[in-house]
Structure 1
Amino acid sequence: MKSKEKPLILVTNDDGITAPGVRALVQMMNEIGEVYVVAPDSPQSGMGHAITINSTLFCEKIKIDEGPQSDREWACSGTPVDCVKLAITRILPRRPDLCVSGINHGSNSSINVIYSGTMSAAVEAGIEGIPAIGFSLCDFSYSADFFAAEDYIKKIVKESIDKEMPKGMVLNVNIPKLSKDKLKGTKVCRQAKAVWVEDYDERKDPRGRTYYWLTGKFENRDKGEDTDERALEDGFISVVPIQYDMTAHHFIAEMSHWDL
């Protein structure tokens, strides 16, 4: 990035381009850089790292609200990862200096990072060598207060740009459901070892056909003091650095003794 240029920031999400969370994030990023928005035209929660390969993709320029970015927004028919891929290869005038995804409605802490479309969009940017951050608020309400953590969000973004995160590095930021005066600050921590204990509710449709509806409950089985779940419970914003390399490096040496 040239010293006199404002950082180019790509904004995306998985709740859809009109979701209150992404509209709030766009406002915040307008104060920091030159914002381009490429986001799904409809909700894509839980899509993980899915990409569109068996159907066509549409990406339409759209104006949603006023602001410096008002003529730099596109609604995409695909997944969050599709949005990032299209933005980088077809839409942006140059490679972005940072990709921010969110603000998601609901937590993406611990195991949720695997399923999250919000985080997968950020990870896709990381794969492209672009520093990226996924923001999530632990509140599913449509009227959630996304501005309670505004100061922290902007500080995290500015630090990420100023400190030049390593290529491939992605931050998973989760914000507890608290008012501005109740937030205690940020904590850099690790992902908790938590799981979803899932089941499928069996039902019948009007024609008598059996169908299933995914249900389940979240269980945090990690009692560590240094986890994202603990930070959130204690009123802190959790910041977990993640990477797309899923190699279990610690097991490679042991496997070298296997009779393969």
Structure 2
Amino acid sequence: RPDIVVSGINAGPNLGDDVIYSGTVAAAMEGRHLGFPALAVSLDGHKHYDTAAAVTCSILRALCKEPLRTGRILNINVPDLPLDQIKGIRVTRCGSRHPADQVIPQQDPRGNTLYWIGPPGGKCDAGPDTDFAAVDEGYVSITPLHVDLTAHSAQDVVSDWLNSVGVG
């Protein structure tokens, strides 16, 4: 059995809403589902993988020394900077993006039409406590994630709506 699941280092960030679509985050979620502590690691660029590796190793050493028992995935985003330019680590929340502006039709090798959604929309919520802000300011962002995507605050609203429209 492994001690921990590390997914990544992904080429490009997984910030804000990106976590919903991220294969890197999904692999960490699967590891967590199987009962392992899990990290999803992404580099905000394509150059300083050594920085992301050093940060990841530092976090892994800390986890070996003192396990973190949150039952959560740690989504780690590393600025694409040399290690000596990283300002530190911030624990953050996910920001959000505006919707993507383009849907680009393409054809697969069999001639079927497929649609690529992108590039991603601009930042919508990039407040000072977000993953976007941390990475933009030169900090490593660590966002604890959990698997439950339920919008608990909307459950009563949806239930009331179903009753009011006669469905349910």
TM bin (shorter chain): 0.7 to 0.9
CA spacing shift, 1:203–1:246, aligned 2, 3 Å: closer
Following TM superposition, by how much is the alpha carbon of 1:246 offset from its aligned partner in structure 2, in angstroms?
A: 1.2
Corresponding residue to 1:159 among 56, 62, 71? 62
CA spacing shift, 1:160–1:245, aligned 2, 3 Å: farther
Give SS of 2:45's match.
Answer: coil
Aligned to 1:107: 13
Count of matched residue pairs: 159
More moved, 211-220 vs 239-248: 211-220
The answer to whether the Cα contact below 8 Å between 2:45 and 2:80 also exists between their aligned partners in 1 is yes
Distance in 2, matches of 1:210 and 1:251, equals 38
Amino acid at match of 2:56: I
For structure 1, list consecutive stretches of 5 or more residues without a partner in the other structure. Answer: 1-93
The answer to whether the Cα contact below 8 Å between 1:110 and 1:229 also exists between their aligned partners in 2 is yes
The answer to whether the Cα contact below 8 Å between 2:94 and 2:130 also exists between their aligned partners in 1 is yes
For structure 2, list consecutive stretches of 5 or more residues without a partner in the other structure. Answer: none
Once the two structures are superposed, what CA deviation does each residue of 1:199-255 show, in whole Å capped at 9, x if it has no partner? 2345799xxx79566343431101411000011110101100001111122233445
Aligned to 2:84: 181
Distance in 1, matches of 2:13 and 2:99, equals 13
Corresponding residue to 2:129 among 211, 226, 229? 226
Distance in 1, matches of 2:56 and 2:107, equals 45
Corresponding residue to 2:145 among 242, 248, 256? 242
CA spacing shift, 1:119–1:100, aligned 2, 3 Å: same
CA spacing shift, 1:212–1:171, aligned 2, 3 Å: same
Aligned to 1:39: none
The answer to whether the Cα contact below 8 Å between 1:202 and 1:210 also exists between their aligned partners in 2 is no
Once the two structures are superposed, what CA deviation does each residue of 1:57-104 show, in whole Å capped at 9, x if it has no partner? xxxxxxxxxxxxxxxxxxxxxxxxxxxxxxxxxxxxx3x221001111
Q: CA RMSD in A?
A: 2.6
- Name the TM-score, length of structure 1 as normaliser: 0.54
Amino acid at match of 2:122: E
Corresponding residue to 2:100 among 176, 197, 206? 197
Once the two structures are superposed, what CA deviation does each residue of 1:127-161 show, in whole Å capped at 9, x if it has no partner? 12211001110113xxx221124442222223334
